[in-house]
């Protein structure tokens, strides 16, 4: 008996998806979310640590389930609908007007996140190295520009390999093994 599937979920393509490629994309998503949302992790750890180890694990499980579901759903729908532009996923789920808002908001959010990271790089250069802030900000801006210039696919491959390492180190740190 065939496994039940949603209509059209079978991926009959000439290019087979390898487990390593899936893990690379998952690792990239993990690294992106940790880097953009949790930075040092201290804020999250201090809040949820008050609930003990179960609070940390429970929160991690809920976040893992939600992010996995949303990412898988976006990938599935994007593959099935063959959108011309990735942001069309917003219109698919929320309609024309709200989808357009989310499209523009996501661009604004990415830009504002970048400005905060440039500012943070400047602050780190000043606080830890005694160098002018603009050197750190300009340095990060140059690195980001070079990354975009040479292509983001390679970046996803590199970050995808780092993501699982970040998770393992974080888990050992939370448990107090002292790897870091």
* Residues 128-141 pLDDT 10s: 889 999 998 999 88
Q: Helices 52-81 and 19-33, interaxial angle, to 10°?
A: 120
What is the residue range of 134's domain? 110-180
Q: What is the pLDDT of residue 114?
A: 85
Q: What is the pLDDT of residue 1?
A: 40
Estimate to the nearest angstrom the gap between the alpha carbon of 60 and the chain centroid.
Answer: 15
Q: Answer whether residue 121 is part of any domain.
A: yes
Predicted TM-score of the model (pTM): 0.57
Q: What is the pLDDT of residue 15?
A: 52
Contact 171, 53 (CB under 8 A): no
Q: Answer whether residue 102 is part of any domain.
A: no
Q: Answer whether residue 85 is part of any domain.
A: no
Give Cβ neighbours of residue 82 (< 8 Å, ≥ 6 apart): none
Q: Answer whether residue 15 is part of any domain.
A: no
Average pLDDT, integer, range 17-31: 75
Our count of domains for the chain comes to 1
Q: Answer whether residue 179 is part of any domain.
A: yes
* pLDDT at 95 exceeding the cut of 90: yes
DSSP H/E element including 99: helix 96-129
């Amino acid at each position: 008996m065939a496994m039940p599937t949603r209509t059209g979920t079978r991926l009959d393509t000439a290019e087979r998806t390898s487990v390593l490629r899936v893990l690379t994309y998952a690792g990239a998503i993990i690294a992106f979310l940790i880097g953009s949302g949790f930075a040092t992790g201290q804020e999250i750890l201090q809040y949820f640590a008050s609930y003990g180890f179960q609070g940390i694990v429970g929160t991690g499980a809920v976040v893992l389930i939600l992010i996995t579901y949303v990412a898988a759903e976006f990938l599935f729908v994007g593959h099935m609908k063959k959108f011309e532009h990735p942001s069309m996923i917003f219109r698919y789920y929320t309609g024309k007007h709200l989808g357009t808002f989310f499209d523009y908001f996501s661009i604004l959010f990415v830009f504002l996140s970048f400005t905060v990271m440039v500012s943070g790089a400047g602050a780190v250069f000043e606080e830890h190295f005694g160098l002018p802030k603009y050197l750190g900000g300009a340095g990060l801006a140059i690195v980001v520009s070079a990354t975009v210039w040479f292509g983001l696919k390679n970046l996803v491959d590199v970050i995808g390999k780092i993501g699982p390492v970040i998770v393992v180190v974080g888990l050992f740190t939370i448990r107090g093994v002292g790897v870091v």
